[in-house]
Structure 1
């Protein structure tokens, strides 16, 4: 049972619903042998993704040798769990790549943002300042390693919005 999960379609083009393979709602669940012990695991793949979003232990069947068959309730629970894993990963990535702080100036408050562009060859950041009216006051390219803190934002504003050195 080594066929590629993404090429496994039912004869009639409908969703696959087998004991060890379910597809539907943009997801594929595949029950697999757990390489670490004698049990079973389930891998959840989002359609179009080469890597599973979630791999977790799977329950043994009554015979204590084979896995418990997948069913609609289990599949729906696995979709919910895998979707939550993806959502948390996206939130974490967003928090790493997008930071902001506020600097008080004589002319009012400025929102200073740092957006990291995770380019494989040349990652960088864009540091920007926006006034209380939502108008962009300044924008400069900075190294991806730049750390936005209230102090670094204040120094940037007080330094006339010149690009900080690496």
Structure 2
């Protein structure tokens, strides 16, 4: 395998005297390892069979964003070498996987629905944003008016279930912290 150490960027001495050195990964274009544009593609032996796999790792991340099968070369023994086109396709695919993962996480941590205002003056947007703190997770229950202005916000348990009924009850109780949360 290739040396994967980081190299320091050369900066003018007047900058380096006041600022810490910036670390950027070295650009590598080899048959089984490409590092460029914030990504590393590495062809690895597939542990499940005699084939090959490729893993895509975003710079700074400990785990691959994407691992998938890789094509055999012409000799049916060694992997097909990486090239610019394949690398760009892998970057696009891995970026999409990360984007979908972020959307899914956002959907799990953020809920929103609309209820009638207690005064009958229109609708309110009620949001629940879970803060996944390792020691003490919690959620913020927020009421927004039709202009997006925050009317109220209370801290509730991370397990609070935001439903039309729970939101309506909170509004009708003048935004007092829901019991049991």
Fold match, TM over 0.5? yes
List per-residue Cα deviations over 1:28-85 (Å, max 9, x = no partner). 0000001111110000010111110000000111111111100010000000000000
1:60-99 alignment runs, 5 A limit: 60-99=72-111
Distance, in Å, in 2 between the alignment partners of 1:111 and 1:14 is: 48
Q: Shift of residue 8 of structure 1? A: 6.6
**Cα distance in 1 for residues equivalent to 2:64 and 2:105:** 18
Structure 2 counterpart of 1:144, from 158, 161, 180: 158
- Pairing partner for 2:169 from 155, 162, 165: 155
1:55 aligned residue: 67
TM-score, normalisation: structure 2: 0.84
The alpha carbon displacement at 1:134 in A equals: 2.6
Displacement after TM superposition at 1:145 (Å):
0.7
TM-score between both structures, scaled by the size of structure 1 = 0.91
**Structure 1, unaligned runs of 5 or more:** none
Task: Tell me whether 1:25 sits opposite 2:37 in the alignment.
Answer: yes
1:101 to 2:113 alignment = yes
Q: How many correspondences in the alignment?
A: 161
CA distance in 1, matches of 2:26, 2:151: 55
Q: Which residue of 1 aligns with 2:140?
A: 126
Q: Distance in 1 between matches of 2:171 and 2:32?
A: 59
Q: 2: CA distance between counterparts of 1:14 and 1:48?
A: 13
Contact 2:6 2:26 in 1 (8 A): no
| Greater Cα offset, 114-123 or 131-140 | 131-140
Q: For 1:97 and 1:115, how far apart are their aligned partners in 2? A: 6
Which secondary structure state, in structure 2, belongs to the residue aligned with residue 80 of structure 1?
A: helix
Residue 132 of structure 1 aligns to a residue whose secondary structure is coil
User: SS of the counterpart of 1:37?
Assistant: coil
Runs of 4+ in 1 over 4 A off after TM superposition: none
